[in-house]
Amino acid sequence: LEETDIQFVAVTNEPFNLTRDFITGRQLKYPVASDVEDKYGRALNVTYIPFAVIVDAKGKILWSGHSGKLSRKRIENVLEANS
């Protein structure tokens, strides 16, 4: 799985000013978006956290579920099944 094949984005329902220290202290290698109005959460039917979604380049949801179940192998399998 090449780095260029996939983009990770974290989304929090907390305002950025409350998460800034956490985010900068972790030196995350992916962007973090703030969804304080829960627009994405509602659109994706997020009912628990942590929650992950695999979305293709056209915006189609390929997989969603608990992020603890999202392994490298699962990502590869989902992408392969939908290529």
23-81 per-position pLDDT tens digit: 888 888 889 999 999 999 999 889 999 999 999 888 899 999 999 999 999 999 999 99
Task: State the Cα–Cα distance between residues 45 and 20, nearest whole angstrom.
Answer: 26
pLDDT at 4: 57
User: Is the entire prediction scored with pTM above 0.85?
Assistant: no
Task: Determine the pLDDT at residue 3.
Answer: 56
How far apart are alpha carbons 17 and 45 in whole angstroms?
25
pLDDT tens-digit readout, 50-59: 999 999 888 8
